[in-house]
Amino acid sequence: MADLQALQETIGYTFRDESLLGLALTHPSASGKKSSPSEDNQRMEFLGDAVLQAVISDALYSLHPNHDEGTLTKARAALVNGTSLAAKAAPLGLEEHLIMSRGQRSDFERGKLSAMEDALESLVAALYLDGGMDAAREFVRRTFAEELANPDQIAVIKNPKGELQELLQIDSGEAPTYEVVDSTGPDHDREFEAVVMHLGQALGQGRGCSKKAAETTAALDALAKLQES
Protein backbone atom coordinates (compact mmCIF):
# COMPACT_ATOMS: atom_id res chain seq x y z
CA MET A 1 0.00 0.00 0.00
CA ALA A 2 1.30 3.48 -0.84
CA ASP A 3 2.05 6.11 1.80
CA LEU A 4 -1.14 7.24 3.56
CA GLN A 5 0.40 10.66 4.15
CA ALA A 6 0.49 11.26 0.40
CA LEU A 7 -3.17 10.32 0.12
CA GLN A 8 -4.10 12.66 2.94
CA GLU A 9 -2.35 15.48 1.14
CA THR A 10 -4.30 14.63 -2.02
CA ILE A 11 -7.69 14.70 -0.29
CA GLY A 12 -6.77 17.78 1.74
CA TYR A 13 -7.42 16.29 5.17
CA THR A 14 -5.14 14.95 7.92
CA PHE A 15 -6.66 12.16 10.00
CA ARG A 16 -6.40 12.24 13.75
CA ASP A 17 -7.02 8.49 13.72
CA GLU A 18 -5.19 7.18 10.66
CA SER A 19 -6.49 3.67 11.29
CA LEU A 20 -9.89 4.83 10.01
CA LEU A 21 -8.32 5.68 6.67
CA GLY A 22 -6.56 2.32 6.60
CA LEU A 23 -9.82 0.52 7.27
CA ALA A 24 -11.59 2.47 4.52
CA LEU A 25 -8.98 1.17 2.10
CA THR A 26 -9.18 -2.48 3.21
CA HIS A 27 -10.92 -4.55 0.54
CA PRO A 28 -12.96 -7.54 1.83
CA SER A 29 -10.51 -9.92 0.14
CA ALA A 30 -7.69 -8.73 2.40
CA SER A 31 -9.11 -10.27 5.56
CA GLY A 32 -9.84 -13.71 4.14
CA LYS A 33 -12.02 -15.61 6.60
CA LYS A 34 -12.68 -12.62 8.81
CA SER A 35 -13.85 -13.10 12.39
CA SER A 36 -15.55 -9.70 12.56
CA PRO A 37 -17.40 -7.46 10.05
CA SER A 38 -15.23 -4.58 11.25
CA GLU A 39 -12.10 -5.95 9.58
CA ASP A 40 -12.73 -4.45 6.13
CA ASN A 41 -14.48 -1.47 4.52
CA GLN A 42 -17.93 -2.97 3.91
CA ARG A 43 -19.53 -1.44 7.01
CA MET A 44 -17.88 1.90 6.20
CA GLU A 45 -19.27 1.69 2.68
CA PHE A 46 -22.77 1.46 4.19
CA LEU A 47 -22.23 4.59 6.28
CA GLY A 48 -20.41 6.49 3.55
CA ASP A 49 -23.23 5.92 1.09
CA ALA A 50 -25.69 7.56 3.49
CA VAL A 51 -23.38 10.50 4.26
CA LEU A 52 -22.64 11.04 0.57
CA GLN A 53 -26.34 11.05 -0.31
CA ALA A 54 -27.07 13.54 2.49
CA VAL A 55 -24.26 15.94 1.53
CA ILE A 56 -25.09 15.83 -2.20
CA SER A 57 -28.79 16.37 -1.46
CA ASP A 58 -28.08 19.30 0.85
CA ALA A 59 -25.70 20.91 -1.64
CA LEU A 60 -28.09 20.61 -4.57
CA TYR A 61 -30.98 21.92 -2.47
CA SER A 62 -29.09 24.95 -1.16
CA LEU A 63 -27.26 25.85 -4.39
CA HIS A 64 -30.28 25.62 -6.69
CA PRO A 65 -33.44 27.04 -5.08
CA ASN A 66 -35.18 27.30 -8.47
CA HIS A 67 -34.79 23.64 -9.43
CA ASP A 68 -37.73 21.31 -8.86
CA GLU A 69 -37.64 17.97 -7.08
CA GLY A 70 -37.40 15.97 -10.30
CA THR A 71 -34.35 17.85 -11.55
CA LEU A 72 -32.59 17.57 -8.20
CA THR A 73 -33.37 13.86 -7.92
CA LYS A 74 -32.00 13.13 -11.39
CA ALA A 75 -28.86 15.16 -10.65
CA ARG A 76 -28.26 13.34 -7.39
CA ALA A 77 -28.77 9.93 -9.01
CA ALA A 78 -26.25 10.80 -11.73
CA LEU A 79 -23.69 11.95 -9.16
CA VAL A 80 -23.85 8.96 -6.84
CA ASN A 81 -24.03 6.13 -9.38
CA GLY A 82 -21.19 3.64 -9.48
CA THR A 83 -19.62 4.98 -12.66
CA SER A 84 -19.52 8.53 -11.30
CA LEU A 85 -18.03 7.52 -7.95
CA ALA A 86 -15.40 5.29 -9.56
CA ALA A 87 -14.42 8.17 -11.84
CA LYS A 88 -13.96 10.44 -8.81
CA ALA A 89 -11.88 7.79 -7.02
CA ALA A 90 -9.40 7.48 -9.89
CA PRO A 91 -7.62 10.89 -9.65
CA LEU A 92 -7.32 10.47 -5.89
CA GLY A 93 -5.21 7.37 -6.45
CA LEU A 94 -7.40 5.13 -4.30
CA GLU A 95 -6.58 2.10 -6.43
CA GLU A 96 -2.90 2.31 -5.51
CA HIS A 97 -3.77 2.55 -1.83
CA LEU A 98 -6.26 -0.33 -1.64
CA ILE A 99 -5.31 -3.23 0.62
CA MET A 100 -6.43 -6.49 -0.98
CA SER A 101 -5.42 -10.08 -1.42
CA ARG A 102 -2.77 -10.97 -3.99
CA GLY A 103 -5.33 -12.95 -6.01
CA GLN A 104 -7.78 -10.05 -6.04
CA ARG A 105 -5.04 -7.66 -7.13
CA SER A 106 -4.07 -9.87 -10.07
CA ASP A 107 -7.70 -10.02 -11.24
CA PHE A 108 -8.59 -6.47 -10.23
CA GLU A 109 -10.01 -5.30 -13.55
CA ARG A 110 -12.98 -7.65 -13.21
CA GLY A 111 -14.36 -5.88 -10.14
CA LYS A 112 -12.60 -2.54 -10.47
CA LEU A 113 -15.62 -0.28 -10.85
CA SER A 114 -17.36 -1.72 -7.78
CA ALA A 115 -14.18 -1.64 -5.69
CA MET A 116 -13.49 1.99 -6.57
CA GLU A 117 -17.07 2.99 -5.80
CA ASP A 118 -16.88 1.22 -2.43
CA ALA A 119 -13.52 2.80 -1.62
CA LEU A 120 -14.79 6.33 -2.23
CA GLU A 121 -17.89 5.73 -0.10
CA SER A 122 -15.71 4.26 2.64
CA LEU A 123 -13.38 7.25 2.46
CA VAL A 124 -16.35 9.57 3.01
CA ALA A 125 -17.33 7.46 6.03
CA ALA A 126 -13.80 7.66 7.43
CA LEU A 127 -13.83 11.45 7.08
CA TYR A 128 -17.20 11.59 8.83
CA LEU A 129 -16.04 9.36 11.70
CA ASP A 130 -12.78 11.25 12.16
CA GLY A 131 -13.84 14.85 11.59
CA GLY A 132 -17.62 14.85 11.69
CA MET A 133 -20.04 16.01 9.03
CA ASP A 134 -18.01 19.17 8.38
CA ALA A 135 -15.00 17.14 7.20
CA ALA A 136 -17.12 14.89 5.02
CA ARG A 137 -19.09 17.82 3.60
CA GLU A 138 -15.97 19.80 2.70
CA PHE A 139 -14.43 16.84 0.84
CA VAL A 140 -17.61 15.91 -1.04
CA ARG A 141 -18.46 19.46 -2.06
CA ARG A 142 -14.89 20.05 -3.25
CA THR A 143 -14.73 16.75 -5.13
CA PHE A 144 -18.07 17.29 -6.88
CA ALA A 145 -17.84 21.09 -7.12
CA GLU A 146 -18.21 21.35 -10.88
CA GLU A 147 -21.16 18.98 -11.08
CA LEU A 148 -22.92 20.55 -8.09
CA ALA A 149 -22.61 23.99 -9.65
CA ASN A 150 -24.07 22.84 -12.96
CA PRO A 151 -26.66 20.09 -12.34
CA ASP A 152 -28.32 20.69 -15.72
CA GLN A 153 -25.11 19.64 -17.44
CA ILE A 154 -24.67 16.37 -15.56
CA ALA A 155 -24.68 13.50 -18.02
CA VAL A 156 -27.95 11.59 -17.99
CA ILE A 157 -28.14 7.87 -18.63
CA LYS A 158 -28.61 7.85 -22.40
CA ASN A 159 -28.19 4.10 -22.82
CA PRO A 160 -29.45 2.32 -19.69
CA LYS A 161 -29.14 -1.18 -21.16
CA GLY A 162 -25.58 -0.52 -22.29
CA GLU A 163 -24.54 1.00 -18.96
CA LEU A 164 -26.09 -1.86 -17.01
CA GLN A 165 -24.35 -4.42 -19.20
CA GLU A 166 -20.99 -2.68 -18.79
CA LEU A 167 -21.42 -2.46 -15.03
CA LEU A 168 -22.36 -6.12 -14.61
CA GLN A 169 -19.71 -7.43 -16.99
CA ILE A 170 -17.00 -5.51 -15.14
CA ASP A 171 -18.01 -7.19 -11.89
CA SER A 172 -18.91 -10.69 -13.07
CA GLY A 173 -18.03 -11.09 -16.73
CA GLU A 174 -21.67 -12.00 -17.44
CA ALA A 175 -24.12 -9.84 -19.39
CA PRO A 176 -27.74 -9.43 -18.24
CA THR A 177 -30.65 -10.95 -20.12
CA TYR A 178 -34.16 -9.63 -20.62
CA GLU A 179 -37.46 -11.46 -20.55
CA VAL A 180 -40.86 -10.09 -21.51
CA VAL A 181 -43.13 -11.57 -18.86
CA ASP A 182 -46.46 -9.99 -19.67
CA SER A 183 -48.39 -7.91 -22.20
CA THR A 184 -51.77 -6.27 -21.84
CA GLY A 185 -54.16 -4.25 -23.97
CA PRO A 186 -55.39 -4.49 -27.56
CA ASP A 187 -52.99 -5.08 -30.45
CA HIS A 188 -52.93 -1.41 -31.41
CA ASP A 189 -52.19 -0.24 -27.85
CA ARG A 190 -50.28 -2.99 -26.05
CA GLU A 191 -48.19 -2.51 -22.94
CA PHE A 192 -45.32 -4.87 -22.18
CA GLU A 193 -43.64 -5.81 -18.91
CA ALA A 194 -40.02 -6.92 -18.90
CA VAL A 195 -37.62 -8.25 -16.27
CA VAL A 196 -33.85 -8.00 -16.42
CA MET A 197 -32.03 -11.07 -15.09
CA HIS A 198 -28.41 -11.61 -14.05
CA LEU A 199 -26.89 -14.76 -12.61
CA GLY A 200 -30.33 -16.14 -11.87
CA GLN A 201 -31.59 -13.05 -10.08
CA ALA A 202 -34.18 -10.48 -11.17
CA LEU A 203 -32.50 -7.08 -10.91
CA GLY A 204 -35.28 -4.85 -12.18
CA GLN A 205 -38.57 -4.69 -14.00
CA GLY A 206 -40.29 -2.17 -16.21
CA ARG A 207 -43.22 -1.49 -18.48
CA GLY A 208 -43.45 0.19 -21.87
CA CYS A 209 -45.42 0.50 -25.07
CA SER A 210 -42.91 -1.75 -26.85
CA LYS A 211 -40.67 -4.61 -25.79
CA LYS A 212 -37.63 -2.36 -26.21
CA ALA A 213 -39.16 0.39 -24.05
CA ALA A 214 -40.05 -2.13 -21.33
CA GLU A 215 -36.50 -3.50 -21.33
CA THR A 216 -35.06 0.02 -21.12
CA THR A 217 -37.28 0.82 -18.13
CA ALA A 218 -36.22 -2.45 -16.49
CA ALA A 219 -32.56 -1.51 -16.97
CA LEU A 220 -33.18 1.90 -15.36
CA ASP A 221 -34.89 0.17 -12.43
CA ALA A 222 -31.92 -2.19 -12.04
CA LEU A 223 -29.41 0.68 -12.14
CA ALA A 224 -31.38 2.57 -9.48
CA LYS A 225 -31.51 -0.47 -7.21
CA LEU A 226 -27.79 -1.15 -7.66
CA GLN A 227 -27.04 2.44 -6.66
CA GLU A 228 -29.01 1.95 -3.45
CA SER A 229 -27.38 -1.38 -2.55
* Percent of the chain predicted with pLDDT > 90: 43
Q: Exactly one of 40, 117, 118, 121 is catalytic; which is it?
A: 121
Q: Could you read off the pLDDT of 16-53 as tens digits, one per residue?
A: 999 999 999 998 877 665 555 567 888 999 999 999 99
Give the chain's mean pLDDT.
Answer: 85
Q: What is the pLDDT of residue 3?
A: 78
118 is catalytic: no
Q: What is the pLDDT of residue 135?
A: 98
Higher per-residue pLDDT: 163 or 108: 163
Higher per-residue pLDDT: 103 or 118: 118
147 is catalytic: no
Q: Exactly one of 40, 45, 49, 117 is catalytic; which is it?
A: 49
DSSP for 121-179, written as a single string: HHHHHHHHHHHHHHHHHHHHHHHTHHHHH-GGGSPP-S-HHHHHHHHHHHHHS---EEE
Q: Is the pLDDT of residue 152 over 70?
A: yes
Q: For residues 12 and 166, give the distance between their C-alpha atoms in angstroms, rounded to a whole number.
A: 32
Q: Could you read off the pLDDT of 4-16 as tens digits, one per residue?
A: 899 999 999 999 9
Q: What is the pLDDT of residue 224?
A: 74
What is the set of domains in the chain, with CATH numbers?
A: 4-153 (1.10.1520.10), 160-228 (3.30.160.20)
pTM score: 0.67
Angle (CA) 44 91 172, round 5°:
60
Among 63-67, 107-111, 171-175, 179-183, name the one with the lowest average pLDDT.
107-111
Q: Could you read off the pLDDT of 167-220 as tens digits, one per residue?
A: 898 878 899 999 999 888 788 778 888 999 999 999 988 887 889 888 987 887
Q: What is the pLDDT of residue 1?
A: 46
Higher per-residue pLDDT: 173 or 104: 173
Q: For residues 207 and 180, give the distance between their C-alpha atoms in angstroms, rounded to a whole number.
A: 9
Most confident of 35-49, 65-79, 139-153, 181-195: 139-153
